[in-house]
Amino acid sequence: MNKSVFSFVMMASMVACGGGGGDGAGSGLSGSIKIDGSSTVYPVSEALAEDFRSVASGVRTTIGVSGTGGGFKKFCAGELDITGASRSIKDTERKLCESGGVEFLELPVAYDGISVVVHPSNDFVDHLTVAELNTIWGPDSERTVTQWNQVRDSFPATKIKLFGPGPDSGTFDYFTKKINGKAQASRGDYTASEDDNMLVHGVSNDKGGLAYFGFAYYVENQKKLKAVPVKNGDAAAVSPTLATIADGSYAPLSRPIFIYVRKASASRPEVKAFIDFAFGDGLGLAEEVGYISLPEAMANKARSDFAAFSAGSAGE
């Protein structure tokens, strides 16, 4: 795995998995698990919850999508057992958890490559450089860079319509830091949503459109989207694929994604079973939904870290 890969809002709808019946596979487990957070991590959480039901049908798993920042607000208030994050926790969020008496453990669950996409009929964007992405998304471009020919002279004078995550999104934080040099530094005149499906809908219905979001949403909708290769410095332009994300060559937009587990929840049998499942039989589900599964060594470390944590370690 490339070294660079390692160095790493609100949607009201909820998805409930499991519950109701008896115990799955003789597990004897019951109770509930509350998960929220990143829309990028959501496909992984959803897949894990659905498959976990087959071994613990007596456990009700509820999943919300509040964005990374929104998830941390709920998590640090003690409202959640687990929150998904498409970036590491910020110092301000860490202090919020401390003030709320919430101890936690960060666990990587997969690798992602933020995908830059355009309308499938767009035949002039063969790639974009990091500098050109900055020209499009930088704060100084607001109400100024409005046509494609302002990005590159050879592009047509077609209006750019931009779609992207909102400020509660970890993807927004990561992308703006890597492309614009500072997290949260972005033009504001674009269509923002914490629901990546809304971004997919927007760019797939606008011939001048451009968006960015997690790789899983591109994979799920690739028949109506065109992924744009990204050129970083002197390196050749690279498209987001499972291979280029895994080896880190899709730079600088390859990254890990995480779940955070609350210590007060970690010792509960249903939560312990869910985490054991996530880093055991459920390990390959990340790839099924369009991300890169953790290497076995990292999964083993996650399991041992969680075992120590749930047994009473001080946390991260």
**In order of start, what are the domains of the chain with their CATH numbers?**
3-111+256-310 (3.40.190.10), 115-239 (3.40.190.10)
Strands 209-213 and 161-164: parallel
The pLDDT score that the predictor gives to residue 316 is: 52
pLDDT for the residue numbered 16: 52
What pLDDT score was predicted for residue 53?
95
CA proximity to 81, closest of 311, 259, 301, 257: 259
pLDDT for residue 215: 96
**Contact status, residue 135 vs residue 162, Cβ threshold 8 Å:** no
pLDDT in single tens digits along all 316 residues of the chain: 443 333 333 333 344 555 433 334 436 899 999 999 999 999 999 999 999 999 999 999 999 999 999 999 999 999 999 999 999 999 999 999 999 999 999 999 999 999 999 999 999 999 999 999 999 999 999 999 999 999 999 999 999 999 999 999 999 999 999 999 999 999 999 999 989 999 999 999 999 999 999 999 999 999 999 999 999 999 999 999 999 999 999 999 999 999 999 999 999 999 999 999 999 999 999 999 999 999 899 999 999 999 999 987 545 5
Pairwise CA distance, residues 63 & 65, whole Å:
7
pLDDT for the residue numbered 185 = 98
What's the length of the chain? 316
C-alpha distances (whole Å) from 251 to each of 40, 88, 102, 158, 239 are 18, 18, 34, 28, 10
CA dihedral 245, 70, 174, 276 (to 10 degrees): -30
Q: Which of 50, 14, 108 is CA-nearest to residue 302?
A: 108
Q: What is the pTM of this model?
A: 0.84
Predicted local confidence at residue 93, as pLDDT? 97
Cβ atoms 58, 18 nearer than 8 A? yes
Q: Residue 28's pLDDT is what?
A: 86
Task: Give the pLDDT confidence score for residue 24 in this predicted structure.
Answer: 43
- Provide the terminal-to-terminal Cα distance of the chain, rounded to the nearest Å: 23
**pLDDT score recorded for residue 96:** 98
**What pLDDT score was predicted for residue 299?**
93
